[in-house]
Amino acid sequence: MSMEHRAYAFDWTKFSTEMLRTLVRALANDDGRPLADFIDVNRSELSDPYEGDPLPDDWRRLMENGDTQELGDFALTRYYRPGDDHGIGSAWQTISDSLAPKVRSALLGRPVGPAGHQFDPGRMGSYFQTPAEAARSAEVLKGVELPELRDYRKLLAECVRRRLGVYVTF
């Protein structure tokens, strides 16, 4: 399976006040019920994380395994648009090893969740940047002239302008 770097403008501020604690507790306890409740309450504002379509009333049928990671994946769509990917895609595999650590960090962010139970629905890595971190990432990448990063740099500029964070997943 290839690693596709996907990146989205993400409403970190809203996420951190509404859902972050619930997600961390669900991951720590491996208990998806609070996330399923969150999805039921907010369903009209959520999307299918795979296709980007509005989440239907019978959203549970879309689940592949229904674990805490997958429930978190569905709940997280309240804070980003799944169809609006601005990552570097499969270029990640080609360039990631050659990047300076600071540049590599600007393309990722930091994981969320307790050690050993971090949020990672794709099981290949999942990272977040706060609005301040997105602004720092934009500064770091200003001097990096790789064509593969053009769309991601535009995403960061948009996030800085709108005071949003970034969600990166593989």
Q: What is the DSSP string of 4-24?
A: -BEEEEE-HHHHHHHTHHHHH
* H/E segment holding residue 108: none
**Confidence check: pLDDT of 86 > 80:** yes
Name the percent of the chain lying above pLDDT 70.
Answer: 99
**Confidence check: pLDDT of 13 > 80:** yes
**Confidence check: pLDDT of 2 > 90:** no
Task: At 13, list the tokens.
Answer: 């501020």
pLDDT digits (tens, 9 = 90+) for 146-165: 999 999 999 999 999 999 99
Question: How many CB atoms neighbour CB 108 within 10 A?
Answer: 20
| β-sheet bridge partners, residue 167 | 8, 128
pTM comes to: 0.95
pLDDT digits (tens, 9 = 90+) for 110-144: 999 999 999 999 999 999 999 999 999 999 999 89
**pLDDT score recorded for residue 143:** 85
